[in-house]
């Protein structure tokens, strides 16, 4: 397979290869490409789309995302237009597609069959039918895109198990960009492809039309509570089984591929995890190591896997933490302030990028310092505000582009419902909704202690967004005064049960 340009990150390069599906198509295009510098912020943004690629599988070499936005399926007597987006995603161990992390390798996109069940009087007046393609076996992306499918037909009277095709007898598409050679009565049809690259060759994109009109379709089965009658009615209506030469698939959209090594390096970071020393292996008279990293913070890779350390994403079994907060200020763009003198927090790390945290704030009042009206969540504890349980999510405020140090943020948002906090101040009900980004440190070292720092100015958070992503802002609403944008200033520390690291560099 041919190779594309290198991707710089942190002073090193990473190469990636093309899969066979595009090898022939891109030779001419690659010859014309010049090497170009890559913006890491742009690269991360582009790699987010491959977030469900199974990059934890070291054998996966490519990540793939294919979206079909238009086209047509003709199965027997029915022509079904593709008028909703169908997505195929996952990893490649060429040519086999490895399922997506979230399980949605092929999106379950129902398409309406024109005419529905008109003509099948046994099923009454419920005529609208949708067809949803499901994978009946492993897909392949090689010189062709091979999709073994079973088509689920849905209608109130068809039951829950009405399918055209099955795992043992699928509808198997062999889709290509070239010209088909179908048996009659179908005639040859031709696909088309436009090959481009992005981010200096980091992403390969093929926009075009995949076609196949030489496949067969088996009978329907499992339809209605009276399968023999229902199956017969559907098969007669749809002209099933339909031999090769009577069926067509035309799928227009875009297929994108990215090297899995690049996705591994860029997309997941930053994340919580543990850099741990591994056991040595006796080889002859020598103790050898086969870890991916040379340093105890997992910041220096061992290209030959001779390091003593290995990175494990996510927290360990002792994942809870507690901490304290200094003075906190919540200020609207209009200048109204809620001041709290101190506080505490508790929570747990829940994943490679997430934590849950709640804060209890004390000495809280609405208004100028020393003159404010006490605020409280509970009528029995003046000055105390209890936040809801918040979901914290890591991302880059500024990604590391050597020699700069990365800045990592934690977005805090309600785990459930709209409000971060709901309380009252002297009879005025106050709600704080939305989300807020606070800086988190330290990064790239194993530690039990992390610091959160929220910065604000004139009711605006600093920053209001991650380097890649939408704005994250707070809205404060007071009864009788309406809603205003607000911002949070705080310093909070937490101490965990065990050491953890926020990894921000490869």
How far CA 469 is from CA of 64, 133, 175, 203, 437, in Å, comes to 22, 32, 35, 20, 12
Q: Note whether residue 405 is domain-resident.
A: yes
Q: Note whether residue 2 is domain-resident.
A: no
CB 123 within 8 A of CB 155: yes
Per DSSP bridges, beta strands 309-313 and 286-288 are unpaired
Asked if residue 401 and residue 366 are part of one domain, the reply reads yes
Asked if residue 272 and residue 183 are part of one domain, the reply reads no
Q: What pLDDT shows up at residue 6? A: 32
Q: What pLDDT shows up at residue 16? A: 34
CB 162 within 8 A of CB 151: no
Q: Note whether residue 1 is domain-resident.
A: no
Asked if residue 285 and residue 169 are part of one domain, the reply reads no
Asked if residue 399 and residue 286 are part of one domain, the reply reads no
Q: Note whether residue 102 is domain-resident.
A: yes
Q: Note whether residue 201 is domain-resident.
A: yes
Q: What pLDDT shows up at residue 404? A: 66
Asked if residue 199 and residue 105 are part of one domain, the reply reads yes
Count the Cβ atoms, other than its own, within 10 Å of residue 273: 22
Asked if residue 484 and residue 440 are part of one domain, the reply reads yes
Q: What pLDDT shows up at residue 77? A: 92
Q: Write out residues in the chain with pLDDT < 50, as ranges.
A: 1-39, 121-125
* Domain boundary, last residue among 297, 313, 329: 313
Q: Note whether residue 132 is domain-resident.
A: yes
Q: What pLDDT shows up at residue 227? A: 67
* Domain boundary, last residue among 228, 262, 296: 262
Asked if residue 305 and residue 351 are part of one domain, the reply reads no
Q: What CA–CA distance (Å, rounded) separates 6 from 3? A: 9
Task: List, in sequence order, every beta strand (DSSP E) within 4-109.
Answer: 7-9, 12-14, 62-75, 78-81, 86-93, 96-99
Q: What CA–CA distance (Å, rounded) separates 39 from 45? A: 10
- What total of structural domains would you count in the chain? 3
Asked if residue 142 and residue 107 are part of one domain, the reply reads yes
Provide the Cα torsion 234, 238, 244, 246; round to 10°: 180
Asked if residue 369 and residue 497 are part of one domain, the reply reads yes
Asked if residue 351 and residue 238 are part of one domain, the reply reads no
Asked if residue 18 and residue 98 are part of one domain, the reply reads yes
Q: Which two tokens stand for residue 157?
A: 């009277």
Q: Which helix (H) or strand (E) holds 262?
A: helix 260-266
Q: What CA–CA distance (Å, rounded) separates 332 from 367? A: 12
Query: Which domain covers residue 300, as residue numbers?
Result: 268-313
CA pseudo-torsion sign 299, 302, 307, 312: positive
Asked if residue 331 and residue 391 are part of one domain, the reply reads yes
Q: How far apart are the two ends of the chain, measured CA to CA in Å?
A: 26
| Nearest by Cα to 68 from 94, 87, 49 | 87
Q: Note whether residue 64 is domain-resident.
A: yes
């Amino acid at each position: 397979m041919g190779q594309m340009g290198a991707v710089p990150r942190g002073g090193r390069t990473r190469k990636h290869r093309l899969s066979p599906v595009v090898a022939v198509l891109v030779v001419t295009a690659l010859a014309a490409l010049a090497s170009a510098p890559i913006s890491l912020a742009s690269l991360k943004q582009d790699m987010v789309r491959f977030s469900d690629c199974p990059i934890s599988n070291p054998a996966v070499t490519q990540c793939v995302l294919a979206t079909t936005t238009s086209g047509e399926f003709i199965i027997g007597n029915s022509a079904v237009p593709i008028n909703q987006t169908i997505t195929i995603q996952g990893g490649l161990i060429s040519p086999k597609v490895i399922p997506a992390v979230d399980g949605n390798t092929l999106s379950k996109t129902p398409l309406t069959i024109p005419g529905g069940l008109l003509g099948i009087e046994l099923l009454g007046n419920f005529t609208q039918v949708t067809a949803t393609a499901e994978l009946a076996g492993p897909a392949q992306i090689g010189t062709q895109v091979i999709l073994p499918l079973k088509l689920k037909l849905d209608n109130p009277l068809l039951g829950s198990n009405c399918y055209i095709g099955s795992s043992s007898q699928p509808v198997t598409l062999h889709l290509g960009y070239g010209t088909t050679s179908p048996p009659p009565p179908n005639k040859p049809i031709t696909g088309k492809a436009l090959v481009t690259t992005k981010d200096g060759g980091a992403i390969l994109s093929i926009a075009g039309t995949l076609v196949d009109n030489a496949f067969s379709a088996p009978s329907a089965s499992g339809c209605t509570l009276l399968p023999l009658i229902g199956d017969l009615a559907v098969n007669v209506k749809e002209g099933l089984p339909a031999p090769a030469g009577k069926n067509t698939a035309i799928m227009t959209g875009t297929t994108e591929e990215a090297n899995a090594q690049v996705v591994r390096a860029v997309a997941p970071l930053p994340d919580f995890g543990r850099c741990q020393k591994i056991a040595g292996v006796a080889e002859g008279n020598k103790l050898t190591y086969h870890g991916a990293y040379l340093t105890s913070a997992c910041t220096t890779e061992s290209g030959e896997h001779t390091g003593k350390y290995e990175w494990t994403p996510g927290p360990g079994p002792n994942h809870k933490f507690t901490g304290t907060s200094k003075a906190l200020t919540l200020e609207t763009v209009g200048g109204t302030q809620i001041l709290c003198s101190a506080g505490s927090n508790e929570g747990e790390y829940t994943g490679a990028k997430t934590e849950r945290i709640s804060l209890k704030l004390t000495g809280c009042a609405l208004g100028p310092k020393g003159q404010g009206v006490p605020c409280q969540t509970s009528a029995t504890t003046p000055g105390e505000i209890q936040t809801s349980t918040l979901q914290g999510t890591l991302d880059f405020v500024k990604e590391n582009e050597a020699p700069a140090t990365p800045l990592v943020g934690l977005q805090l948002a309600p785990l459930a419902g709209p409000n971060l906090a709901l309380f009252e101040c002297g009879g005025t009900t106050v709600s704080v909704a939305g989300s807020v980004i606070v800086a988190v440190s330290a990064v790239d070292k194993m530690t039990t202690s992390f610091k959160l720092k929220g910065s604000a100015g004139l009711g605006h958070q600093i920053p209001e967004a991650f380097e890649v992503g939408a704005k994250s802002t707070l809205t404060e609403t007071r009864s009788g005064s309406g809603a205003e944008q607000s911002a949070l200033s705080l310093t909070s520390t937490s101490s965990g049960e065990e050491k953890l690291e926020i990894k921000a560099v490869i």
